[in-house]
Chains A and B, each alone.
Chain A
Amino acid sequence: MNKGDILKEFYAGLAVVIRNFDLVKRYWKWEIVFFAYTIANTVTMGFVGKSMGGGNRTILYMIIGATMWSYLSVLFEVLAETVAWERWEGTIEYTFMSPMKRITHLLGTCGFAIVYGMLRTFLLFIIVAPLFGINLGSMNVSATLMVLAIASISFTGFGMMGAVLPLISPEKGVQVVHIFQAFILMISGVYYSVNVMPKWMETLSYFSPATYALEAMRKTVLNGEGIWSIMDKLAPMALMGMLFLPLGLFIFKWGERFSKRKGFLKRNG
Chain B
Amino acid sequence: MNSAVKVYNVKKYFKKTGKLIEALKGVSFEIKRGEIYGLLGPNGSGKSTLIRLMSTLLYPDCGRIEIFSHDVFEDENIVKRMINRVSVEASFFMKLSAIENLRYACGIYGLPFGKSKEHISNMLEQVGIPKNRFNDPLENFSRGMQQKVAISRAFLTAPVLMLLDEPTTGLDPKAKREVQSMVKDIVREHDATVLLTTHDMEEAEKLCDRISIIHHGKIVAEGTPENLKERYSAQTLEDVFLEAIGVKFEEADEDE
Contacts and interface: CB of A to CB of B under 8 A. Distances in A.
Interface of A: 7-9, 11-12, 14-16, 18-19, 22-23, 26-27, 89-91, 93-100, 105, 257, 260-263, 265-266, 269
B95 A26 contact: yes
Nearest to B78: A99
Interface in B88-111: 88-96, 100, 103-111
A11 B137 contact: no
B112 interface: yes
Given A94-B105, A263-B58, 20 more contacts: A9-B110, A15-B104, A16-B104, A18-B103, A18-B107, A18-B113, A19-B93, A19-B96, A19-B104, A93-B52, A93-B91, A94-B85, A95-B108, A98-B108, A99-B77, A99-B108, A105-B108, A260-B57, A261-B58, A263-B12
Contacts of A89: 92-94
A23 B95 CA distance: 7
Nearest to A100: B108
Contacts of B14: 262-263
B59 interface: yes
Contacts of B108: 12, 15-16, 95, 98-100, 105
A90 B90 CA distance: 8
Nearest to A92: B91
26 contacts: A11-B111, A15-B103, A18-B104, A18-B113, A19-B103, A22-B100, A22-B104, A23-B93, A27-B95, A89-B93, A90-B91, A90-B92, A93-B55, A94-B105, A97-B57, A99-B108, A99-B109, A100-B108, A100-B109, A105-B108, A257-B59, A260-B56, A260-B58, A261-B58, A262-B15, A263-B14
Given A11-B107, A14-B107, A18-B104, A93 B57 contact: yes
A26 B96 CA distance: 7
B96 A22 contact: yes
A23 B137 CA distance: 11
A269 B87 contact: yes
A186 B85 CA distance: 45
Contacts of A8: 109-110
Nearest to A5: B110
Contacts of A19: 93, 96, 100, 103-104, 107
A97 B100 contact: no
Contacts of A100: 108-110
Interface in B210-256: none
A98 B93 contact: no
Contacts of B113: 11, 15, 18
B117 interface: no
A210 to B, nearest CB: 31
Contacts of B137: 26
B96 A23 contact: yes
Contacts of A265: 57-58
B190 interface: no
A98 B88 CA distance: 18
B151 to A, nearest CB: 13
A98 B57 contact: no
Contacts of A105: 108
A134 to B, nearest CB: 37
- Which bracket fits the contact residues of B? 35 or more
B107 A99 contact: no
B81 interface: yes
Nearest to A6: B110
B87 A97 contact: no
Nearest to A265: B57
A8 B87 CA distance: 26
Contacts of B83: 97
Nearest to B48: A269
B152 to A, nearest CB: 13
A18 B215 CA distance: 43
Interface in B71-91: 77, 80-81, 83-85, 87-91
A93 B87 contact: yes
A97 B80 contact: yes
Interface in B1-46: 12, 14-15
Contacts of A262: 14-15
A22 B95 CA distance: 9
B100 A260 contact: no
A26 B111 CA distance: 23
Nearest to A97: B55
